[in-house]
Amino acid sequence: MAEVIWGLATSHVPSIGAAMDRGKAEDPNWKALFDGYAPARAWLAEHTPDVAIVVYNDHANGIDLDFVPTFGLGTAERYEVADEGFGRRPVPDVIGDPELSFHLVQSLVDDHFDLTVFQELAVDHGFTVPLSVWTADPGDAWPCPVIPLLVNVIQYPQPTAARCYELGRALGRAIRSYPKDITVGVLGTGGMSHQLAGSRAGFINPDFDSMWMEAIETDPARLAAMSREELIRQAGSEGIELIMWLVMRGAMDDRVTKVHSDYFVPASNTAAGIALFDNRAPSA
């Protein structure tokens, strides 16, 4: 059967991708952020899965704001990189896995998650920046096929943290029920605390972020119990993206091993975090 071997939580700030694309990783304003990625990248390079699933949100680039599903899953053979108004990022298009995608759709629907299914989808920075955090220089192709799992975090009412955690648990069950003997990595994206508009524009909450970084490993149920309003109050209106980390964490075992984590402020006007977890039982 298929197995989730790791989970990676990471921010998807567009300026992180721009910094990589423009060769600014050693720039004094960015070096500490990218140095913080290095241990995770080294470990991931030695643990390439057969397929990855990226839990992300679109930013009105692949999906029109007139049609924002609560949850959606891609079933395409290929996902083009979206042009977000200033040219597409110089990274490869994404190869999908339609067979696994269809299995996930059927399993999740049977598990009471009524998904929107995307047979065509362009993916924006919410998807490609996490892939670049994983693999800085993919060359002509990303390390493996990738399946997009979309979550609405931009239009009210967003799904609750509890619902996202339950989606993750259902995703884990769906992966484990896949009959092929493959390995899967799951990326949960977005966050950390930030607010881009309104009277709290520029808001960042390092204390909350620190709590979240610890609890996502040791007590995700505590995070899942938070209301939508409490998340926005503590993490900012865009910080609610952190619910997508809970999808990743729910797909993993109750006990995981942290490989690496790091926190950087600010990436643009956002708190940026990374947390990498090994889902396999430690060797005796």
For the record, the structure tokens of 103 come out as 């299995």
By annotation, the residues acting in catalysis are: 125, 194
pTM assigned to the model: 0.97
Cα distance between residue 28 and residue 134, in whole Å: 21
Cα distance between residue 26 and residue 35, in whole Å: 9
Digit-by-digit pLDDT tens for the chain (284 residues) are 999 999 999 999 999 999 999 999 999 999 999 999 999 999 999 999 999 999 999 999 999 999 999 999 999 999 999 999 989 999 999 999 999 999 999 999 999 999 999 999 999 999 999 999 999 999 999 999 999 999 999 999 999 999 999 999 999 999 999 999 999 999 999 999 999 999 999 999 999 999 999 999 999 999 999 999 999 999 999 999 999 999 999 999 999 999 999 999 989 889 999 999 999 977 53
Handedness of CA 256, 43, 273, 35 (dihedral sign): positive
For the record, the structure tokens of 197 come out as 């508009």
Contacts of 101 (CB under 8 A, 6+ apart): 73, 74, 75, 76, 147
Domains (ranges, CATH) in the chain? Answer: 3-278 (3.40.830.10)
